[in-house]
Amino acid sequence: MDPLWYKDAVIYQLHVRSFFDANDDGYGDFEGLRQKLPYLEALGVNTLWLMPFFQSPLRDDGYDISDYYQILPAHGTLEDFRRFLDEAHARGMRVLIELVLNHTSSDHPWFQEARKPGSPLRDFYVWSETPEKYQGVRVIFQDFEPSNWTFDPVAGAYYWHRFYHHQPDLNWDNPEVERAMHQVMFFWADMGVDGFRLDAVPYLYEREGTSCENLPETIEAVKRLRQALEERYGPGKVLLAEANMWPEETLPYFGEGDGVHMAYNFPLMPRIFLALRREDRGPIEAMLRETGNIPEAAQWALFLRNHDELTLEKVTEEEREFLWEVYAPDPRYRINLGIRRRLMPLLGGDRRRFELLHALLFTLKGSPILYYGDEIGMGDNPFLGDRNGVRTPMQWSADRNAGFSRAPYHRLFLPPVSEGPYSYHFVNVEAQQENPHSHLNFVRRFLGIRNRYAKVFGRGSLRLLPVENRRILAYEREYEGERILVVANLSRYTQAFDLPLAGYEGLVPVELFSQNPFPPVESRYRLALGPHGFSLFALRPKEEAERLYLPDWAVPGEEDKEHPLPSVSLRGGVESLFIDTFADEEAQAAFLKALGAALRERSWLALRPEGVELKDALRFRKEPPLYLTLLRLEGEGTVQEVFLPVALRQGMEGPGLFARVRGTKGYLFELSQDPEFYSLFLKRLAQGFEGRSLKAHYRGRHRGPVPEALELLRPGLAAGDGVWLQVGLVQDGGLDRTERLLPRLDFPWALKPQGGLYWERGRERRVLALTGSLPSGRPQEAFAHASKLAREGLARLQDHPVGEGALGLLAEAFKELEALARLLGVRLALLHRALREVEGEGDGVPLLNRGLGAFVEVEGEVFLVALGRESRGLPLMDLSRLAYDLERALFFSAEEVPEAEGWLALAADFLEEALFQAYQETDQRVLEAMDRFPQVMLALAQEQALREERLSRERVFRRWQEKAGDWEAPA
C-alpha cells in the first residue's frame, strides 16, 4: 500500500444518518450506505469521511458522544459497519471516521461518574470552583452559549466546555484521558478504518493567560497520537486535523512530518468565495503563499462547504463584513460568525460559478472534499435551526421523502428540502443520472480527469502564472515531467488575456475535457474565457500530440528505414523496369518482388499479394522519374488490378520507400501516400493530359480549381481548396460505376465527378482517377472523422466506470458520432432507393461496398464520393460494412484511450442501433435477411482481420465471434 495514498484522495463527506435509510425507520444506516457504494464509486470518489455514528443523545448531531465503542442503534450494528467497511475496501475505497478528542456528551458514563464527589474519574474533565479561570478565552458558539463554564449542581463545581454546555471538555493533562483516547483509536483502527478526523483538535489543553488554543502541549499530544498509530499499524493510516486557525497557527500541527498527515485548509476556503465576488485572484494567491510551506509528506484537505456553517472566524473584519454582505445579506442566514447555507444557494444557483469553484477545488494543491449532495446542487433549509439546514436527507429521487426513506414523513430525522427551486422534486440523483448536462455528470466527468491525473493534482508542484489581467487565476501543476495548466476566469464577464509561457515554446496545450489540441505555445499565449469559465490543458510535446491523430492507414516510415531494404540492380535506365521494349527481366523481377512485399503491408489493399505482374506503365514525369503503373495482383485465390504511381528518387525521404537501386544511385517509392504526387497529378490533369504507352492511351482532364497543395485524406483520396481527387488504387470497377451513376443521383450530398484520367485500349475503357468540386472547408475522410469523434467520446468517458447513468453519459459523450451514424443510415437508405430506380431491383441492391471509405466530411457535412464495384447484394451487407467501420473506428481510437476500455462494447451496440434505426425509419421496409446480421458481421470482420494485422481489426473480429456464438436464429 502506498503510504501517501491520502495525497491522491478524493474525499466524500457524508452523515450516515442523512444518506440512505434501508430499514425505513426514518434514519440513514450503514446498510443503506453499503447499498449506495456503487453510486459513490461511479461518482469518482475514493475516500469516505463519515461524520459521527457513535452512541449519542444527538444534541449536537452526534458530536456529543456517550459511548465511543458503540454505534447509535438507528445506524445499525457493529456487524453492519463491518459489512459496509469490507465492501468499501473491496471497491478500492478508504474510510475515515471521527475521533472526537476534545469533549464527550454530558451523558457519557465518564462524566456521570466524574460528577460524584470523590470519584476517581473526576480528573477526566476540567473543573473549577469559580467561572473566573481562563478569562478572555473566546466563546466559539456565541449564538448559543454565554460562557465556556457551566455550573453542575451534583458536582458542586463549574465544568469547562469550548462548545455546547452539554459537551464537557476532557482533561488532557490527565495521562489516563490520553490513554483512553488512544484505546478508542485502536479499537476502530483494528476493525480496519483507514484514518481519523481529529475533531476540534486545537482546544485539548488549557493554560491560564493564553487563548487555550494551539498550545504546545496540544501539538505534542497530536504527535504522540501519530506515533502510537504508526507504532501499532505502520505507515498508511492517516490523521486529519480540524483546526480552524490562521495559517501560522495551523502549520505546527504538521510538525516536521511527525504531526498530522492532513489538515483542512480553513484559511483558503473563505478566500475562494472572496475572490469570486471581488473578481480578483488576490485573496487566493495570498493564501496559497501563506499555506504553501508544509512538510513534503503533508497534505492540505480542500473544501468548499461542509456540515457546519461557512466559518468566517479566521478572516479580517473587513473580509467578514464583505462576505456577509454579498453571501448572507439576510441576518437569518448567519450563525456563529459564519453563514449557514449550502454551496448552491450561496452561489445563487449559478451553474457557471458552481463549475468554476469545483474546477478550483479539484485542481488546487491538496486533496478535495465533496460534501454529500453538493454534486447534484442540493439546497438547504436554514430555518430548521442551528446548522441542521445543511444536513437534510440526501435527495435520491422525486419519490416520497426524496427517495431517502419509506418511513412516514413525521418519523424522518429531518425533513428533506421540499419547496422552492432546490426541492427534491427537481433536484435529485435519479433526474440527473441520465442527463449528461446535469451537475452530477459534470462532477463525474471532472473527477474522472482528476483521478486520471491524481498524482499531478495531489502531489505535484503549483506555480502561479503572473497574468496581467487580475480577473484571471492561472497556475501550472507539475509532477515528474507531467504538466497541466489551469486557467480560471473569476469575472462574470468574458476576459481576454495573455499567458506568460516563456520556456514552454513548442509544447501543445491539449484541452482535457475534449482532448482537443490547441496551437503550439509561442512565448506569450493569448486566450479568452467566458464568464466564470475555466480550462485545463495538458502541455505535451508536439510530436506526442500529433501522434494521437495519426490516421488508420499511416505507414510508419521510420520503422521501414530500420529494416534492410531489398535491392534492385539497374544496368540500364529506370525504363528497364517499366517498358517492355527496354525491359531487364532480372531487374524487373526484383522490382516486382520488392513492390509485392511492400504492398503486403498496405492496409488499403483488400488482399495480400503473392504475385505481382506489370500490365502497363506510362512515364508521367522524366526527371525525377515517375511512372503510372497498372499491376495485376494475385493472392488468396483472387485477382485484383491496381493503378499505382512509382517513382525513383535520389534520397530516402518520403513515404512509400520499398527498394534500393544498385548501379544507379537511388531509391524506389510507391506514391499511394505521397501528397506531392496527388498535387502534381491534379495540375497535369488541369493542363489536359494525354499519353501513350505501348498498350493504351491515357487521357485526362480537370476543369475545377487547382490549389497549390492537396491534403491526403487516405491512400487514393486527396482534397484541397474546393476540389477532390480520387485515384483508383484498386481497379474493381468502382470508379467506372461512380462516374456513370453519381451524376444520375439527385442528392446534394453526392459529389458528381467532373473530370479524371481514363485508360483506353480499342473499345476497352477504364477510369483510373476522378476529380470533382468540393464545398469550401477542410475535408477529411469519413473514417478519420469517425475515429476523431470516437477518440473524443472515449476521452470524455475514460475516467468513468460503466455503471449507473451509463446510457446518459454514453449519449452525451458520443453525441456527434451517433449523429454521424444516423446520418449515414439515412443516406444509405436513400442511396439504395435511388440505385434501385436507376439500376433495377435484380437480386438485390448494388453494393456501396466501400463503407466509410465512400464518404468524405467537410465542415460537419458528409458527402458521397464513391460507389462499389459492379455487383449485386443485399442492403444488409452495406449496413454491415458501415457498422463494421464504425466499430473499427471505436477500437482503433481506444488504442489511444485505454482507460475507456469498459465502454467499447456498449458504445458499439449503441452506434449500430442508431445506424439501423435511421436506415429503417427512412426506407420503411423490412431489411432482408436481418437474422443473418451476426453471421455477415462475423464473416466481414474475419476477412478484414486476415487482410491486415491490426489490433483494432482483431478485436472487432473477436467481438463478433463471441456475439455470433451467443446468437440464436429466430424460429
Q: By the 8 A CB rule, do 323 and 385 touch?
A: no
C-alpha cell read off for 846: 448494388
For every residue of 725-741, DSSP letters joined together read EEE-SSBSSHHHHHHHH
Q: Omega before 624 cis (within 30°)?
A: yes
Question: At a CB cut-off of 8 Å and minimum separation 6, what does 821 contact?
Answer: 886, 911, 912, 914, 915, 918
Question: At a CB cut-off of 8 Å and minimum separation 6, what does 484 contact?
Answer: 363, 453, 456, 457, 460, 476, 477, 478, 512, 536, 537, 538, 539
CA distance 938 to 942: 6
CA distance 901 to 891: 9
Is 199 among the residues known to form the active site? yes
Q: By the 8 A CB rule, do 846 and 868 touch?
A: yes
Question: At a CB cut-off of 8 Å and minimum separation 6, what does 184 contact?
Answer: 68, 69, 99
Dihedral over Cα of 115, 120, 126, 132: its sign:
positive
Give the rounded distance of the alpha carbon of 617 from its chain centre: 52
Dihedral over Cα of 334, 337, 340, 343: its sign:
positive
CA atoms within 13 Å, Cβ hemisphere of 819: 11
CA distance 506 to 523: 9
Q: By the 8 A CB rule, do 800 and 41 touch?
A: no
Q: How crowded is residue 921: how many other Cβ atoms within 10 Å of its Cβ?
A: 12
For every residue of 283-344, DSSP letters joined together read HHHHHHHHT----TT-EEEEES--SS-EE-TTS-HHHHHHHHHHH--SGGGEETTEE---HH
Single-letter amino acid code for the residue at 721: D
Q: How crowded is residue 307: how many other Cβ atoms within 10 Å of its Cβ?
A: 17
Burial track 725-737 (b if 16+ CB lie within 10 A, e otherwise): bbbbbbbbbbbbb
C-alpha cell read off for 175: 495521562
**Number of helices and strands in the chain (H, E):** 28, 41
CA distance 673 to 75: 68
Is 546 among the residues known to form the active site? no
Q: By the 8 A CB rule, do 701 and 755 touch?
A: yes
C-alpha cell read off for 521: 505555445
Of 387, 671, 404, 722, which Cα lies nearest the Cα of 557?
A: 671
Of 537, 431, 437, which Cα lies nearest the Cα of 484?
A: 537
C-alpha cell read off for 852: 466509410
C-alpha cell read off for 466: 503572473
CA distance 624 to 644: 17
Q: How crowded is residue 635: how many other Cβ atoms within 10 Å of its Cβ?
A: 18
Q: By the 8 A CB rule, do 366 and 299 touch?
A: yes
Strands 717-720 and 723-727: antiparallel
Q: How crowded is residue 279: how many other Cβ atoms within 10 Å of its Cβ?
A: 15
Q: By the 8 A CB rule, do 149 and 127 touch?
A: no
User: How far apart, in Å, are the Cα atoms of 413 and each of 8, 342, 416?
Assistant: 34, 19, 9
Q: Which position among 21, 80, 169, 242 bears the catalytic label?
A: 242
Single-letter amino acid code for the residue at 462: L
Q: Please identify which residue in the block is written with the cell numbers 521501414.
A: 560
Q: How crowded is residue 779: how many other Cβ atoms within 10 Å of its Cβ?
A: 26
Q: Which position among 21, 61, 199, 670 bears the catalytic label?
A: 199
Q: By the 8 A CB rule, do 686 and 706 touch?
A: yes
- Catalytic center residues: 199, 242
